Amino acid sequence: MSVIVLHLGDSIASGEGASRPFCAYPQVASRALAAEMRSAVETRVMAEPGWTSAELAACVTADPAALARADAAAVLVGGDDLVQAAVTSRSESHLRRQLGAAYRRYARDLASIAGTCRRLGVPLVCCTMYNPFPRSALAALAIRGLNDVTTRVATRLGAPVAPVDAWVAGREPLVIAGYRTGRVEDVLARGRAPVHPNDLGHEIIGRGLAAYISPLAAMRHRLGSTAVWHSRR
């Protein structure tokens, strides 16, 4: 019987930036898990480009059965929450207020997703967000705030945190598709905004994430109960 892993998120989880679906990080993680666990792994993805944490949380709430069948889940979301805060801001001070509101909504939504997983006994790995604009102080500030919220919510609910930001940091020119100068202004240039991982970026995220998913999925698959969450308290 296959181990089932569900990946939750937005355009990154849906595979944007990868040259083909095979190279997207959920599929990379699946192959790494299959090799480590010596078991067939079925990968499922609940993600759409442009989804905010609120839209993802609503989808999870509307279809808990899809989650209940999983042996483990991983969530990487929040980038579009920051984008919405930025595009509606009129000044830097207004942006900071908008970010504060976005963080509060994101915390609520992530807690909802994690809470649903916990009620269903499905172990969840929460991923931090990488910064595609390392030469922008404001982008670094926004991403750091989002990751602080992710860590706080995950810790409170007993979910492990996969440090995707650390895996990407310092490698941005190599792992971001279409990387230019590393500044926020790059989104104004012609062509696709350089915010998604390329094949190497997806490879790094997938392989790193597999190490976090593997022990949780193995325990859930073996026990088939809420013991995974309870054993971590």
- For residue 77, what pLDDT band results from cuts at 50, 70 and 90? very high
Check whether 233 has a pLDDT greater than 50: no
Three-state secondary structure call for residue 15: coil
Identify the domain containing residue 44 by its residue range: 3-231
* 81, 146 contact by CB (below 8 A): yes
Q: How many domains does the chain have?
A: 1
What pLDDT score was predicted for residue 224? 59
Q: Is the dihedral of CA 80, 101, 132, 21 positive or negative?
A: negative
- 18 pLDDT higher than 90: yes
Q: Which residue has the tokens 């998120």?
A: 9
Task: Identify the residue whose tokens are 């949380």.
Answer: 57
Domain at 84, CATH number: 3.40.50.1110
Rounded to two decimals, the pTM is: 0.92
Confidence grade of residue 90 (pLDDT, cut at 50, 70, 90):
low
The pLDDT-based confidence of 72 (bands split at 50, 70, 90) is: very high
Chain segment 91-144, per-residue pLDDT in tens = 777 888 999 999 999 999 999 999 999 999 999 999 999 999 999 999 999 999
Which amino acid, 90?
Answer: R
Ranges 15-29, 57-71, 184-198: which has the least confidence? 184-198
Minimum mean pLDDT among 17-31, 62-76, 88-102: which range? 88-102
Q: Give the Cα separation of 147 and 139 in Å (integer).
A: 12
Please answer whether residues 1 and 185 qualify as being in contact, where contact means their C-beta atoms are separated by less than 8 angstroms. no
Residue 209: which of 27, 14, 64 has the closest Cα? 27
Strand order through the sheet with 3-9: 41-47, 3-9, 72-76, 124-127, 161-162
